[in-house]
Amino acid sequence: MSILLTIVLLLAAFLLCMNLWTRHLTRQGIEMVPQLGQIVPVRGGSIHYVEKGDPANPTIVMIHGLSGQLQHFTYALMDDLAEDYHVLAVDRPGCGYSTRDTAALAALPEQARMIQAFLETKNVDQAILVGHSLGGALSLEMALDYPDTISALALLAPLTQQMPEPPAVFKSLEISTDWLRSLIGNTIAVPMARKTAPLVLKDVFAPEPAPADFLNRAGGALGLRPSAFITASQDVIGVESSMGELTQRYSDLKTPGGILFGTEDPILSAETHGASMTKFGLTFEKLEHRGHMILITEPDICARFIRQIAGMTHADMTKQNPH
């Protein structure tokens, strides 16, 4: 047997073992974090969502960030806000238990279209969007693409500017070739994610500690699936391709709202992505010595911030339309 053939066979055996281990971890992840809500089909895929609160109240729509899922909001924020609002937490297209048919649908305008189509099936109008991280960029896209249907933006550590490259913790997701993305996702990505999860969570949550129950209660175990890696990689490329055009449209932003940022956010700069947006009419508030995952580490403060934005908007709307 030639050396080349031996190497090929060993590599094939290694990839097969990794695929089997990936399938095992995937089953574990699904068992730890089962589907919480309902699924609505839309053109290009489907949207998984959880709904709480009185539909007669103003509607808050919660949109998570890169490599996330709606459990980032059900962890603590959703039940609090559902006391006063009708709240919908969604898995972005392709994330969690939502789906999308192609990588092209990772572009911000396409994700915005799919979530807007979902809101239309729910007869939701004048939604208050709560977007975290990449979900903030998507919320801004929706406010610009569908300005008559979005009443306010309450953005938590949002991505608002084009970046020269992904944050270091997400750099490995920058893969533009579909077949390579799929190969890595179905072999080595999930076992590596399982092994490095503690370090990654430490980096993402810094300077605050990650909660011990993040993998189950916050849905982190859903990241142990090939689809999670593939979707996140598609998101990185989709955002890179569409963020520049989004930023060029900020001068057209008419939707009121605000931004809340931790001053020690290790993923996105508060000044670059928060303070820079005040010239487009958004307020900007900082949480001292806090990081990127404030929706989980500081839910009470985030809830007060969201209520402030939603309350001001509701008051303004009532003033303009007293009947």
Domain map of the chain by residue range? 19-320
- Tens of pLDDT along the chain (323 residues) come to 688 776 766 676 776 777 776 777 778 778 878 999 999 999 999 999 999 999 999 999 999 999 999 999 999 999 999 999 999 999 999 999 999 999 999 999 999 999 999 999 999 999 999 999 999 999 999 999 999 999 999 999 999 999 999 999 999 999 999 999 999 999 988 888 888 888 999 999 999 999 999 989 999 889 889 999 999 999 999 999 999 999 999 999 999 999 999 999 999 999 999 999 999 999 999 999 999 999 999 999 999 999 999 987 655 544 443 43
Measured distance CA(276)–CA(99) in Å, rounded: 33
C-beta neighbour count of 259 within 10 angstroms: 27
Dihedral angle, C-alpha 58, 62, 63, 67, nearest 10 °: -170
What pLDDT, on a 0 to 100 scale, did the predictor assign at position 4?
76
Measured distance CA(281)–CA(75) in Å, rounded: 30
Architecture of domain 19-320: 3-Layer(aba) Sandwich (3.40)
Residue 209, both tokens: 């500690």
Measured distance CA(144)–CA(142) in Å, rounded: 5
